[in-house]
Amino acid sequence: MGIMPGCRKSIPFSMAPLPARRVLLSHYVTRGRLPARAANDNRRPDSLPIWRMVLAVSAVPVVSALVILSILM
């Protein structure tokens, strides 16, 4: 019984391909896994959470009041 043509045993050792360097998954993963979401959640996955926007909007009057008070003193 002959050796199948696609078998590595039929390739002379000098013609055999060199082993490839080690493949690491971290070379291909650019972002981590997205958190689990409800099936009816239609928001964009990269949208900014509402609490950050509320914090930014509420900080403006506080900083304004501090600037006014520092000018008056």
3-state secondary structure of 18: coil
Instruction: List the domain boundaries for the chain.
Output: 48-73
Number of other residues whose CB lies within 10 A of the CB of residue 11: 13
Binning pLDDT at 50, 70 and 90, where does residue 71 land? very high
Supply the DSSP string of 19-31, one letter for each residue: PPPPP-GGGT--S
Question: Which amino acid does the sequence have at 71?
Answer: I
Chain segment 3-60, per-residue pLDDT in tens: 555 555 555 656 656 667 787 777 777 777 777 888 888 877 677 678 888 888 899 9
pLDDT score at 70? 93
Whole-number Å distance between alpha carbons of 7 and 22: 23
Looking up tokens 């050796």 gives: 3
pLDDT score at 23? 77
pLDDT score at 36? 81
